[in-house]
């Protein structure tokens, strides 16, 4: 664990890849658990736990299936544990950081939910919106970087796969919104 946190920091800064993380199913389990908590907390800002928990579990399963499928297609299955550890650990950190702008935007989301027609007149705090968007974009870059290293593809392909993963999760979760 003492070597994991500095590596996680370097991974978030795109300075190392999932192959640099230790191979550990214990770390994988901890990363998945941390990601689950961060995502439930994030979703809990705009919805109930009754909705947030199943959505988070389903999104996690979709992510695992997506990554395993990609690694199988590219014949890189020995990289599964480290890739999933990197993916879920970075999502946990970025998800926890996203709680700050999401908390600031929660009243805006509530106003829009109560009166969707007023969405164009509601003023959101620009710093919270900018922070939320920046974290979202950085999350795509980090995930793309992880995919690039795990799959031996160009960064642009990794970013495209990160966007595809996000779209797939979104499509799967639409019925639960």
Which range, 59-68, 118-127, 166-175, has the best average confidence (pLDDT)?
59-68
This prediction's pTM: 0.92
Q: What is the mean pLDDT of the chain?
A: 93
Average pLDDT over residues 135-149: 98
Rg (CA), the chain: 17
**pLDDT tens digits, residue range 155-177?**
999 999 999 999 999 999 988 77
What does 109-159 look like in DSSP terms, one character per residue?
HHHHHH-GGGTTTPPPPHHHHHHHHHHHHHHHHHHHHHHHHHHT--HHHHH
Q: Is the pLDDT of residue 34 over 90?
A: yes
Q: Could you report how far apart the first and last alpha carbons of the chain are, in Å?
A: 37
- CB of 45 within 8 A of CB of 52? no
- CA 73/CA 71 separation, integer angstroms: 5
């Amino acid at each position: 664990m003492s070597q994991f946190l500095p590596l996680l920091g370097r991974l978030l800064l795109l300075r190392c890849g999932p192959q640099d993380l230790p191979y550990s199913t214990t770390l994988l389990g901890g990363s998945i658990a941390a990601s689950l908590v961060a995502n439930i907390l994030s979703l809990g800002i705009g919805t109930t736990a009754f909705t947030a928990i199943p959505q988070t579990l389903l999104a996690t399963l979709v992510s695992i299936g997506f990554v395993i499928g990609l690694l199988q297609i590219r014949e890189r299955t020995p990289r599964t544990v480290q890739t999933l550890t990197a993916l879920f650990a970075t999502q946990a950190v970025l998800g926890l950081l996203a709680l700050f702008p999401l908390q600031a935007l929660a009243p805006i989301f509530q106003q829009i939910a109560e009166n969707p027609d007023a969405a164009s007149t509601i003023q959101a705090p620009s710093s919270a919106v900018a922070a939320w968007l920046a974290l979202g974009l950085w999350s795509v870059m980090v995930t793309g970087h992880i995919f690039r290293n795990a799959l031996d593809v160009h960064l642009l392909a990794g970013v495209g796969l990160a966007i595809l993963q996000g779209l797939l999760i979104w499509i799967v979760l639409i019925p639960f919104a």
